[in-house]
Structure 1
């Protein structure tokens, strides 16, 4: 049963990615929506779920929130050390280096791949949650699966959008979209046979929430607002947050 529902999640993820492919002429709105969806998933799904899994932690701070801060800081430090993050300087104002070389978009492209990989990992955890839910009982497993399926459309949408950020070649985005769609199936299979302690799963979910929030705030949303009217893009971002809030609320 867990694997059957994971296949439904697979189809929902692919549907989200296909929708993202069709709206490239409205890229700024797509990116604004994707940023809102990621923010919504972090705020209304990942963080609350991680706190439920592991509410305790060192010095009175919940373990998942320690993981959240570590995920955010680790990606920030990694980007700075590897000179990935370009701060989008050329998009906010003209900028020339002394020898006439401007900033390219390779850094943002690589950051988009990182974002997509984080979403694949998130989808694996979703599938793992389905498997573990069925270990607890059929009713619990079905409820968890419905919650996963409800937001896998957003996962597929975000994965393709992030992986195609500043890339003319769609092949990496398609590969990661397919990986994101398969991840719940792999996670459900693993969760059906392997028990993961709540003390580990909670901080892990918090860690990926920090990674995703950093990528949304530092890469996807700045790109969305770089050369386009702010009002429509802000509206798309707000719509993304509201959509996840409604999905999570209905799933509860």
Structure 2
């Protein structure tokens, strides 16, 4: 059993054939998926997907690309939206300074801190997005962890070794996407080898970042298996052992999902 710990099943890429996407995932051994929020305003959409498909859980939150659209949502509101059995996390929220038209840094930081407060209050894990913001992310996470502990995962990790080390020291998990399969991702594979194995998750970030040998196509949860095979080789593990490891890590972090797969859902 594999779990795609981060995908976006609400995106238009999947609207014409979401049942087919989920069926192909199951055929590839990916029996669980976590669809990740990008806007608080779309919470009902994520909820509806999870309610319609028992293989899917969801989160609530505001992506940094949408921070300017939802700059003042209080932590209490975010926390209240998690009161559903299929909602098992908060985010994705974070810092992304890659694009020139990104929301102001101060706005992104304010939104991130509100999500951290919600994660702390609910004891649900926060899904963190970090891109071209390593130093600022390190400062925010370190400061917030001093204020009170919270659980989190640095998703689709492609940052530098320093942020990975800080994240591990703070107790965070690290999730790797198809980027780790790319031929030029030597440094990222070295980082993966250095992360404690009980902190590693695997994801697609679908519909983005399809792994080899699917690069250039629309990514989908079935391709979690290709990233998992690549990472298993990087870590010197068999594919079944890696699948069992990352599934156990997922359930430990996203504990609201339960310690084991739900019965009657084709596990």
TM-score where L is the length of structure 2: 0.25
Question: Of the two, which has the highest radius of gyration?
Answer: 1
Q: Which has the higher strand share?
A: 2
